[in-house]
Structure 1
């Protein structure tokens, strides 16, 4: 085996192959943590722990935002503005749910995002389908302390996904290439 210095490319030669190890120029750019109190990951986790008491109220506010977006859709129809508001509210819940300690709500929010993203004519999305998704997210968050919430949320999300898939398959029936990638 042949090795170069640490400032040059290293090539390890074996009977049937060679391994080229490039110079790690970033090695000197990274600060090493020496004290337990200097660990940035530990500091971030501690800060998150301090904020965790606020998570339930933040998740409740996200649910209120989703509900308000739903009511705007009901009042004004699904236009560009209301579509974006509803989509972003659902997408934020999908992303924030696990961080806030409500991971089971992410599936229902993700299903709503999927319906919005993959409907060729969003104005044809039935209001009942939007209502089912929003009500599911809110119910999962509201009932999160129940001992059987995992079973309830899993069944609810599974049913939402099934109904959403049926709708999307019907709406995309004239686009077989798109439909193939969808399901």
Structure 2
């Protein structure tokens, strides 16, 4: 006979703070005038001056992960830290106004995801990705208007594709 909810032990967790007490409910009149998209855009506008600093912080995390690899060697743990740092940049770059950096980080993530094992990550190519991201953030190479950044992305992509061509495609992998 299957256990019923009455037969199972359980615990009800109560959050320490009821967040409903932290917000004000809009009056019907205020609710009619409220535009959530406009409010979100205004919030982004207020935060925009900090975006460069946030990208600097993300870049420092990537550089730190790369330094750990240079000191401790390449293994599952150091590779995971490096990947996470690149993945964070990939995910945040567009929002923070650095879409070109996001494309470079996406290429780096693709390289790390596609190689069969950490020992197959070419250190020279990985370092080129790390340095490209650092340089682009430092120099403010944000989008396609930066021709040097675009050329760097294209070169990294081409070299990565050529390197990855030697490995068999994983099941379900896209061309």
Residue in structure 1 matched with residue 83 of structure 2 by the alignment: 87
1:64-143 correspondence to structure 2 within 5 Å: 64-143=60-139
TM-aligned CA distance change 1:109 to 1:162, over 3 Å: same
Residue in structure 2 matched with residue 5 of structure 1 by the alignment: none
TM-aligned CA distance change 1:78 to 1:124, over 3 Å: same
SS at match of 1:100: coil
SS at match of 1:104: helix
Residue in structure 1 matched with residue 32 of structure 2 by the alignment: 34
CA distance in 1, matches of 2:134, 2:171: 30
Shift, 1:119, TM fit: 0.1
Q: How many residues in Structure 1 have an aligned counterpart in Structure 2? A: 147
SS at match of 2:99: coil
Note the residue ranges of structure 1 that are not aligned, 5 or more in a row.
Answer: 1-30
User: As a proportion of its length, which structure holds more strand?
Assistant: 1
- RMSD, matched Cα: 2.4
Relative CO higher for 1 or 2, CA cutoff 8 Å, sep ≥ 6? Answer: 2
CA distance in 2, matches of 1:121, 1:109: 19
CA distance in 2, matches of 1:112, 1:127: 12
In the alignment, is the contact (CA less than 8 A) between 1:143 and 1:149 conserved in 2? Answer: no
In the alignment, is the contact (CA less than 8 A) between 2:90 and 2:103 conserved in 1? Answer: yes
CA offset digits 1:93-124 (Å, max 9, x no partner)? 11111111111111111111011000002222
Structure showing greater radius of gyration is 1
